[in-house]
Chains A and B, each alone.
Chain A
Amino acid sequence: MAGAQAGSTRPMGSGLLKQIALFGGGLLVALLLDFTLDKAISDSSIRQLLMMAACNILVALSLNVINGMAGQFSIGHAGFLGLGGYSAAVVSANLHEALGGGEATFGKSFIVVPVSLLVAALLSGIAGLFVGLPSLRLKGDYLAIVTLGFSEIFRLVIATAQIGDKETIAHAWSSAGSPRGFVHAISVMITSLGGQNGYAGPKDAGVPLYAGPFWVVGLAFVLGVVAWRLKFSGWGRALRALREDEIAAAAVGVDPTRYKVTSFVISAVGAGIAGGLMAMNRDGTPIVQPDSYNFQASFDAITMVILGGSGSVTGAAIGGVFVTFTVKAIELLQSTSAVQALKQRFESLDLNALRMIIYAAVLIALMIVRPEGLLGERELFQKKAPSPAKAK
């Protein structure tokens, strides 16, 4: 990306050392967590909650690029998460088989996780390119509909692909010479993803859960720093300028076309990684299902960003954590005996609907008290002016 290094007048030497210390420290903490978390927290549901929070930070950070920094409005983030989730699940499961199966060890995760996430990021990024192209001609609601269309198509194609025989993919491709054969082979592949029931590896043995706290927390940390840097880089500045005034931004030489499309690609890449990590999360479930990527998931992501303050990196992170804990709190409430007793009487009782009420209440309250979100565009931990080009 041209422009990312613009205005970097900070002294190189000490900055580099600081950065090595920052990244080294973050990764060390993540590494320690990987080995100690199971012992420190025996309740797996709490571990799962913490890991989900880290993943959701990535979900919020990635959506923040489009909805916050670029000022576009995507309501189909779940599509990118799903593409990342399914890609990582398929790649990691097959790679796991190829490596001889067995246990998902920490050592092997250094092969499986990077490869799976790379594929997830790549495929999601390509989808981002195609969904981003209409952003050149469409704005606001119309663009939002395109993003929603993408994510629903993605989900429904997988969810409804259940028909068809148990033909193997290899066999289908061997006769894929004709256009019809090709389409058939593709549909066999999609069917192999398990339709509504979900995908649990090529032999239905479950998606291997390679992404322990080292990967989840480590990547949340590293990508968080990347998001922060991106915002205050020349690229982020130009993107935010474009959001505020397209003519004025173009007049200083910012190319709207390039920025709009790249912001979609970057956001999608981030979502691909987030989705991939969730699918392989050690404390998660060994199956990916289309319903995890429904509109509710996109809406959750939007809530995270709006809550924290559109455009704010730290705000997005806070929003991600808040939404995770709301989901968990409701789950806990569901399992209390009082609610269980109520459920006996009213079968259709589902407290998940409460979530929408809580979000709505919080969002309305926020609109009244702080329409710009918790932090607005500002950042926590930002004492001096964000700009690197400060005169020394």
Chain B
Amino acid sequence: MVGSMHTANETQILTEPVARLIEEFSRLPGIGPKTASRLTFFMLRAPDEAARSLAEALIALKQQVHFCARCYFIAQGELCVVCTSPARDQRLICVVEEPLDVVAIERTGVFRGLYHVLHGRIAPLEGMNREDIYFDELLDRVRTEPVEEVILATNPNLEGEATAFHLQRALAPLGVRITRLARGLPTGGDLEWADPGTLSSALEGRREL
């Protein structure tokens, strides 16, 4: 894709910096060439300060934030705020697909344990297998940390269920309690979009696998 989006002629008309920013925006998920052009012209018309602020925010993001060495949620230090909090229950791990799912669960305020972010789910047709997500890292944590219960909070759709089944099979020999979110969540959707009420009742009504 890089460099192939605009012909040499188009780049000449657009000017190189405009063509380049359009290309950069188009690489973002959910953004097509039209939206990328609209965003680029928005930035062109915006005050200098807006562009500088955006650029600085991007650099700060990459310089100051990475993924927690333990649970792979976002962190500013080596460990994230959840992992470093003395108030969290170390015996409980809630496994989710994406960092935004942690945000959704934290919004409910009912969960006091730790997390494990897989950064994806097993989706063979998209080339996502066990080794492409933080799957084995979870097994290591269960082996070395004082974990008593693992809550599988992958999305309530086929890929999420398959990932949960796979995790369950791998976790079973380790002698830990394994639970899954209650059926209250309608199937097919993504956790990220669940409202706090539904999500907290799904957590409270979790069932043993």
Please say whether chains A and B are actual partners in one complex: no
